[in-house]
Every structure is written in structure tokens, then in C-alpha cells.
Amino acid sequence: MNVSHPHPADATHTGLGELPAGRPPQTEFRDGLDYPRLGQVTFRRGTLTDNQQALFNEHWPRLGTVLHDEVIDLDEWFGRSNHPTIVEIGSGTGTSTAAMAPLEANTNVIAVELYKPGLAKLLGSVVRGGIDNVRMIRGDGIEVLARMFAPNTLDGVRIFFPDPWPKARHHKRRIIQSGPLRLIASRLKPGGVLHVATDHADYAEWIDELVHVEDLLEYKGWPWPEAPLLTDRQVITKFEGKGLDKDHVIHEYLWRRTEAENPDTVVKP
């Protein structure tokens, strides 16, 4: 996988946990695969409550960071060595993240999200719950994977209820495409697990067409009792609850990173 990286996305940010105005330039992937191209789509903005802001000011410097062009030293960030690491892309308000993390205390969990109030809510849950194995990154999930994680370093990637971009002209923005599947596979260790869930029927049909598109990912279907990672999401997320209220069916997908050679030779963005 050949990639070209722009300048660090947080080089000019001025506030704690803030990203530059608008969207930063996107990584150029040169492998001929399909990647979500979001252009200048802006992420939702929101303000924090006074209590959220106080907790954010106190704990974000230790628990969080923003998108930048430097591979994370996982042992240093979590203060422990040789623990498995899972990245959750699009963690929202962190409902599932905070519920699952205590059940996998031996695992480093990194929540990636653009929406600052969502990260603030998760941070509050982490602090109040005394959860010490969760860290947070504010940024686009594809950019974070490409720039901040070296190949063959992750034990799991989770994508729960990604934006379905239901209009046909927006399908190119969906995160589940051939390119992200290759990128995720490249960041997973052999034996690592990708777990995706959606309640959107059209998106499920879209994913069904892609389950075998990446040779480095062996599709295991659902359920997979022998999965090496926790696959029970424990709680119903806000978005999942809305889906169930409309009698939507939850579709879950599990893949295992194969033992095949990783074609991605980019170690440091």
C-alpha cells in the first residue's frame, strides 16, 4: 500500500482536543482501491457542559489526543507493555466502549471519534468508572489508522453502526470499502479481528458484497464462538436502540486477519 501523508492535522490547533477548522487534507492512497472520500464534509460541532469541560481539561491530556502524523507508542501511552490493543472507529458517545472495556481489562482500547461531545461523554464515563484501559483520539478513523498505527500492531478493530450514507450519491463516503478493508487488514496482527455491526439493511447488502474482497481478511461470519476477542457488545447503543425501535435487524460481521504476508511496508507515516 503506497500512501502520501499531508502535514500533521493538529499542527495549528489552538484548543484542547480541537482540530483545525474544516477537514484536514486527506491521505492519498495509491493502491487502486476504493476509499471514502469525504471532501470538505464537516463534522458535527457541539459545546460541552461546564462539568464536561472541567473533566476534559483535567483528563484529556492524559487520556486523549488528536489526529497527527506520528505513530503511537502504545506501551508509553497506556503505561504497560505487551497488552493487546483494539481500535474502535466511530465510538460515538462511547456507550459500548465504556461497557466493554472493564470486561477486557487486559486489553488496550482506543476510541476514535470526530464528535468532541461524544468523546467528552466517554471521558466522563471512563473517569467516573475508574476505567484505566481506554484512550481516545479525535479524528477521522481512516486517517488515524493510516497515520498513527504501524502495520501488524493491532489485535482488533471495531466499527459499530457506521454512518450508512443512505443516498446513492453518498455511497462513496461509506467506511466499509475495499480500501479501508485493506488498510484495516494491514494494521491488524495475524489473527487479529475486525468486527462490524450495522442495522441498515442497504448497508448490510453493501457489506455482504465485500466480505471476501480482501485476501488478508478471512471472513468468519457471525457468530464466531472461538473469536479471540470479546464480540458481545454488552449494551444497546443509542443508534442501535433507535434501529430496534424501528424493528431493524442487526447485522454483525467478523473477519480474521490471515497469516499471509502483509503488503503494507509503510511503518511510519
Q: Tell me the pLDDT tens digit for each residue of 125-169.
A: 999 999 999 999 999 999 999 999 999 999 999 999 999 999 999
Residue 177 in domain: yes
CA distance 76 to 201: 41
- Domain of 187, in residue numbers: 3-11+23-257
Phi/psi of residue 12, each to 5°? -115, 10
pLDDT value of position 15: 74
List Cβ neighbours of 68 (8 Å cut-off, separation of 6 or more): 8, 9, 10, 11, 147, 148
CB atoms within 10 A of CB 175: 21
Residue 116 in domain: yes
Residue 216 in domain: yes
DSSP category for residue 138? E
Residue 124 in domain: yes
Residue 16 in domain: no
Residue 263 in domain: no
Which pTM value belongs to this model? 0.89
What CATH number should be reported for the domain holding residue 195?
Answer: 3.40.50.150
Average model confidence (pLDDT) across the chain: 87
Identify the weakest region by mean pLDDT among 8-22, 66-80, 211-225.
8-22
Predicted confidence band of residue 122 (pLDDT cuts 50, 70, 90): very high
Predicted confidence band of residue 244 (pLDDT cuts 50, 70, 90): low
Predicted confidence band of residue 216 (pLDDT cuts 50, 70, 90): very high
The 10s digit of each residue's pLDDT in 169-195 is 999 999 999 999 999 999 999 999 999
Residue 267 in domain: no
Where in the sequence numbering do the catalytic residues fall?
163
Give ∠ CA 186-192-194 in degrees, rounded to 5: 80
Residue 17 in domain: no
In this predicted structure, the answer to whether residue 200 has a pLDDT above a threshold of 90 is yes
Cis bond before residue 8 (omega within 30° of 0): no
Asked if 181 contacts 213 with a C-beta cutoff of 8 angstroms, the reply is: yes
Asked if 36 contacts 173 with a C-beta cutoff of 8 angstroms, the reply is: yes
Q: Number of folded domains in the chain? A: 1
The 10s digit of each residue's pLDDT in 37-65 is 765 555 556 789 999 999 999 999 999 99
- The annotated binding site for substrate is made up of 167, 199, 237-240
